[in-house]
Amino acid sequence: MELADLLLRQAPTPSTVLEKQFDIQRRLFTQSRVLLHANFTNIQVRDLRTLFELYDEGLFNGRCRLTLGEQPIGFRFAPRMTRTAGTTSRITDRRTGTSSFEIAIATSMLFDGFQEGDHREVTVCGVECETRLEALQRVFEHELVHLLEFLCWQESKCSQPRFQQIASNWFLHKSHTHAMITRRERAAVSGIRPGARVRFEYEGRAMQGVVNRVTKRATILVEDPTGMRYSDGKRYGKYYIPISWLELDEPDPRI
């Protein structure tokens, strides 16, 4: 049976999907060099390749690899992705017309979540995730559906019915969106948000400033007569500071 026919006409039962997902967890632990527990603190690119092989073998009987043929597939972690949990790309060589694929997973969204004292649950693809490994699996499954669509139909859009049908039937996903805890959200809960006054230490000096922006790090504006002039008429120096280094200088009135 061709991969496209398999995806649309022969889905496993929900109990089989759950059994396969748990088995993939178990086998990943046995094959990984660094994964020690479900809320792992270290992971390698080879673990992503292992995930691909385990899913392809366990659910698709190797048809994904067979359909790829000579087309390469690469895996990487993307520490700079802060709003997207993962991406799947098809790269076409304009000279030869050959294609390759890449699945990238955002490490910041994985490692920013599942910390002691978190204020809410994490859902990925509409499925509640209790551990970092469960979140990784759901993200990887989502990206795998993109890959499957690229291989079978040359295009993939997670908002479309076909994608959602495959994701639901083969992985029990309930939506195509994620609600993971981001660094920005964690900072906002602690009061570190644009406009908040903060203090921090920089190169041995105690400094005070105002939060201008929060991404992976916070952009802090510190008054400096030699700095750039801003719209309020004052001059500021700009510092990019890890959120964990910051303390509120005074309570934020919006909290």
pLDDT tens profile 166-185: 999 999 999 887 666 555 66
DSSP 187-205: HHHTT--TT-EEEEEETTE
- Amino acid code (one letter) for 241: I
| Every domain range in the chain assigned CATH 2.30.30 | 185-248
Angle at 25 between CA 121 and CA 123, to 5 degrees: 20
At 10, the pLDDT band (50, 70, 90 cuts) reads confident
Name which of 3-12, 189-198, 199-208 the model is least confident about: 189-198
- Is residue 255's pLDDT more than 50? no
The model's pTM is: 0.73
Stretch 62-76: mean pLDDT: 94
At 254, the pLDDT band (50, 70, 90 cuts) reads very low
- Is residue 1's pLDDT more than 60? no
- Is residue 117's pLDDT more than 60? no
- Is residue 161's pLDDT more than 80? yes
What whole-number distance in Å separates Cα of residue 113 and Cα of residue 101?
28
Q: Over the chain, what is the mean pLDDT?
A: 87
Residue of 127, 206, 202, 201 whose CA lies nearest to 167? 127
- Is residue 244's pLDDT more than 90? no
- Is residue 87's pLDDT more than 60? yes
Q: What is the pLDDT of residue 89?
A: 95
Alpha-carbon torsion 186, 191, 197, 203, what sign?
negative
Stretch 51-60: mean pLDDT: 96
Q: Is 2.60.120 the CATH number for 185-248?
A: no
When comparing pLDDT for 52 and 183, which is higher?
Answer: 52
Q: What phi and psi values does residue 28 have, to the nearest 5 degrees? A: -65, -45
